[in-house]
Copies of this chain bind each other. A is one copy, B any other.
Amino acid sequence: MLKKAIILYSGGLDSSTLLALLHYRGYEIYTLTFDYGQKHSVELEKSTLLSKDYSVKDSKVITIDLRSFGGSSLTSNVPVNKHLSENFTTNEIPLTYVPARNILFLSYALAWGEVNEVYDIFIGVSQIDYSGYPDCRKNFIDSFVKMANLGTKAGVSGRSFNVHTPFIYLSKSEIITLGTFLDLNYGKTHSCYDPSSDGNACGFCESCLLRKKGFKEAEVEDPTKYTENLL
């Protein structure tokens, strides 16, 4: 029987590499994408490009109303940081943190997975080159799986959910090296938190800086169109 997987898929660098990887591994793929009022919704457009390339079985885009809660520079009027945040050294959680984002995303994946009978959920989080968000850490993911198997019909009926994080211990450059091996076209992926109206990356938000650093370290040419180029 074909292995089935739900991918939390944003159209960004990490989840696109995950898509390429699961395609390579022969999974039947279901992508789940969220429109949560993020400023960088160009990400959503890019996500459809790759879904076609990798013959995804089914794709859903779920609109979730995080903007009405506020509290993040990604969904409200708080400005996006224009430097690599201090959290790499101080453990501070940056303004781009969106409250309970991955908890919500994974919860929707459980709902879809139960109905669709897909119990393997993949998320492209890494706790190496990351922004310090608590919902990207392994101990959180493990705890989520326990909770999921106590709180769902599938879980208590013995068809265990699992949340897979193949990139959890990979650096950004290692993820890019993997994706390049898999022939992923990174020109079809998007990272910038604060893109221009024509969809180009700003080049100096936290996410652009992490992306540039990754390509540089991987010694792979970065196909991204940056409006500015400060590195």
Contacts and interface: CB of A to CB of B under 8 A. Distances in A.
Interface of A: 60, 62-66, 68-71, 93, 97, 99-104, 107-108, 110-112, 114-116, 133-135, 137, 139-140, 143-144, 146-148, 150-153, 155-157
B150 A143 contact: yes
Given A108-B104, A147-B140, A147-B146, A152 B115 contact: no
A144 B140 CA distance: 11
A114 B69 CA distance: 9
Q: Which 6 A-B pairs have the closest CB atoms?
A: A71-B115, A99-B114, A100-B111, A140-B151, A100-B110, A143-B147
A231 B95 CA distance: 57
Contacts of A69: 111-112, 115-116
Given A69-B112, A103-B152, A146-B147, 15 more contacts: A62-B65, A63-B65, A69-B116, A71-B115, A93-B157, A99-B152, A100-B111, A104-B111, A107-B107, A134-B155, A135-B151, A143-B146, A143-B147, A143-B150, A144-B151
20 contacts: A62-B65, A63-B65, A69-B112, A97-B153, A99-B111, A99-B114, A100-B111, A100-B152, A103-B107, A103-B148, A103-B151, A104-B107, A134-B150, A134-B151, A134-B152, A134-B155, A134-B156, A139-B150, A140-B150, A143-B146
A99 B109 CA distance: 10
A123 B15 CA distance: 34
A66 B116 CA distance: 13
